[in-house]
């Protein structure tokens, strides 16, 4: 079945460092791919998405490119801020179902 694997955390970075959080997926067909972010004490919110191969999703300085050949959707940001500290979830939705499948989440801690 469909699944998402993302790198384990926590990831600890200094402010202005480059961020990569790896995400790979297993799916039949052509899923849509998402990154959701959960700030402390809050629910998840959509960060970015890509619905077809080679699409790049971007928002708030974050980017991720849908790579079908490597079944990946890695999240990147060129210069992180303390306010980016949160848990990041990779997710996919595919086929005829109206469901999202989430990865286990990666905790990012950015230090000043």
Partner 1 sequence: NAGVTQTPKFQVLKTGQSMTLQCAQDMNHNSMYWYRQDPGMGLRLIYYSASEGTTDKGEVPNGYNVSRLNKREFSLRLESAAPSQTSVYFCASSEGLVRTGELFFGEGSRLTVL
Residues making contact with partner 1 (CB under 8 A): 31-32, 36, 41-46, 49, 51, 89, 93-94, 98-105
Q: Which residue has the tokens 């080679």?
A: 54
Task: Supply the minimum distance, in Å, between the C-beta of residue 49 and partner 1.
Answer: 8
Cβ proximity to partner 1, 57 vs 77, nearer residue: 57
Task: Supply the minimum distance, in Å, between the C-beta of residue 70 and partner 1.
Answer: 21
Query: Do residues 23 and 75 touch, judged by C-beta distance below 8 A?
Result: yes
The pairing of strands 44-50 and 106-111 is unpaired
Task: Supply the minimum distance, in Å, between the C-beta of residue 14 and partner 1.
Answer: 26
Query: Do residues 15 and 82 touch, judged by C-beta distance below 8 A?
Result: yes
């Amino acid at each position: 079945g469909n699944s998402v694997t993302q790198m384990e955390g926590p990831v600890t970075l200094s402010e202005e460092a480059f961020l990569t959080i790896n995400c790979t997926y297993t799916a039949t067909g052509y899923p849509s791919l998402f990154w959701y972010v959960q700030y402390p004490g809050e629910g998840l919110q959509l960060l970015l998405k890509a619905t077809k191969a080679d699409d790049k999703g971007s928002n708030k300085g974050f980017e991720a490119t849908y790579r079908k050949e490597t079944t990946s959707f890695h999240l990147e940001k060129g210069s992180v801020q303390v306010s980016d500290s949160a848990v990041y979830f990779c997710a996919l939705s595919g086929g005829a179902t109206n469901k999202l499948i989430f990865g286990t989440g990666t905790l990012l801690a950015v230090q000043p």
